[in-house]
Structure 1
Amino acid sequence: MTSKSLIILSILGVFTNLPAAKAEESHAIFFNQLKKICGHSYEGTVVASNESDEKWRQSKLIIHAPACTADMTKQIRIPLHVGEDKSRTWIITKSATGLSLKHDHRHKDGTPDAVSMYGGHTTTKGSPTSQDFPVDDFSKALFIKEGLKQSTTNVWTLTLNSKGRLSYRLSRPGREFEVSFDLNKPL
């Protein structure tokens, strides 16, 4: 099966039984699958969390992506709303060696939060349906500077499963957090 065939199947929602892919193919297939959210908004729910996530469990969670544009060939920006809080945006970017995930946090006036643009870069090929983003060196230094040393072992995972759900997961020792968005029901 060619990469083009895999991309077409994945866009149609056929995420299971995909053959093994080279690293650059896995990254590209995943990125192209993720682009299908362009122009839509989706509601999510917390599926795994710690006590500190009460606000997330009680809030309406919405992701949305603007209509696909030429600049989305290399980067997808996904604003995340937690109730009335619209301060977060996930940024997934293609690079020469894989994909990166950054978290852009802003204040209401649009200025960057002290803890912003943190994230990670893929270190493995992942799969056409799931990519891990271990914390990068920039983020480790930022977390230490801001008194968040516990976050220096973060791994974020984005998964597109066979049931048409996008999951965002944060994990580290003593911390598990996951939100799942139903891509079958655009708002």
Structure 2
Amino acid sequence: MRRLVLIAALALSACATTPPANPQDAFWTNLRAHCGKAYSGKLTSEEAVDADFKGRLMLMHVRSCTDNEIRIPFHIGPKDGDSKWDRSRTWVITRTASGLRLKHDHRHEDGSEDLLTQYGGDTATPGSATAQSFPVEAESIGLFRREGRGVSVTNVWEVEISDKRAASPRFAYILRRTGENARLFRVEFDLGRAVTPPPPPWGF
């Protein structure tokens, strides 16, 4: 009996000293669980500069997943009186030696890269299993300045994803900007109901 008590005590001690799971690994697993699925969403922020997006159907498609890269095309539905989708954007999340990286792959309809493409940032903190923040990195700051987009040099992108226990699971993509060019752009997608995956994004 004493031996069983000792074994149980040792087991409890081992559990107490086991370090918590890496929140970025948990976030990655949480996101990758949706691979192959698509979800509908909409703009939820209210800034006047985004009036062109208001009311338009939006789709995210967790289109491809590897051990080190997840690609999520972001499709924007037609404007009123039009039938053409904007399939120019793909969010690319990758693992790095120190955390996670978010990049934006922007393409024209013929598949060629936009002048403003492959910009983004790396995580500066561990974040959590449901939210990661990506402050703009130096290379992207240089790109923004070269292309006359100096307002974007304080960009911070955020990605939020509910875990499987959430009553109303959501995925959100957010752009925040501080200072005199303060900005908030947020789109949300309903993870509770998958939809038919859209065609490939432009260039793929």
**Into which bin does the TM-score normalised by the smaller protein fall?**
0.7 to 0.9
Greater displacement, 93-102 / 57-66:
57-66
1:41 partnered with 2:46? no
Does the CA contact (< 8 Å) of 1:41 and 1:63 recur in 2?
yes
1:178 aligns with 2:186: yes
Query: Offset of 1:65 from its aligned partner?
Result: 2.1
Q: CA deviation at 1:49?
A: 3.5
Structure holding more strand per residue? 1
TM-score when normalising by structure 1: 0.83
Aligned equivalent of 1:75: 69
Q: Within 2, Cα distance between the matches of 1:85 and 1:59?
A: 11
1:137 offset after TM fit, Å?
0.5
In structure 2, the gaps of 5 or more residues are 1-18, 78-84, 196-204
Aligned partner of 1:6 in structure 2 is none
Cα drift, residue 166 of structure 1? 0.6
User: Greater CA radius of gyration, 1 or 2?
Assistant: 2
Identify the residue that residue 58 of structure 1 maps to in structure 2.
55
For residue 37 of structure 1, what is the amino acid of its counterpart?
H
Q: 1:123 to 1:67 in 2, by over 3 A?
A: closer
Check whether the contact 2:74–2:91 (CA below 8 A) recurs between aligned residues: yes
Inter-partner Cα distance in structure 2 for 1:117 and 1:67 = 17
**Preserved CA contact (<8 Å) 2:41 2:57:** yes
Indicate which of 27, 31, 37 corresponds to 2:28.
31
CA deviation string 1:106-127 (max 9, x = no partner):
0001010000000000000001
Q: Secondary structure at the match of 2:132?
A: strand
Query: Counterparts of 1:45 and 1:21 in 2: how far apart (Å)?
Result: 35
C-alpha RMSD over aligned residues = 1.4
- The answer on whether the counterparts of 1:154 and 1:170 sit within 8 Å (CA) in structure 2 is yes
Letter in 2 for 1:178: R
TM-score, length-normalised on structure 2?
0.76
Equivalences for residues 145-156 of structure 1 within 5 A = 145-156=146-157
Q: Within 5 A, what are the aligned runs for 1:1-187?
A: 21=20, 25-66=22-63, 68=65, 72-83=66-77, 84-161=85-162, 162=166, 163-173=168-178, 174-187=182-195
- How many residues in Structure 1 have an aligned counterpart in Structure 2? 163
Determine if contact 2:161/2:172 at 8 Å carries over to the other structure: yes
Post-superposition offset of 1:160: 1.2
**CA contact 2:42–2:55 (8 Å) conserved in 1:** no
**3-state SS, counterpart of residue 54 of structure 2:** helix
1:39-74: per-residue Cα shift (whole Å, max 9, x none)? 111001111141111222132100112265xxx111
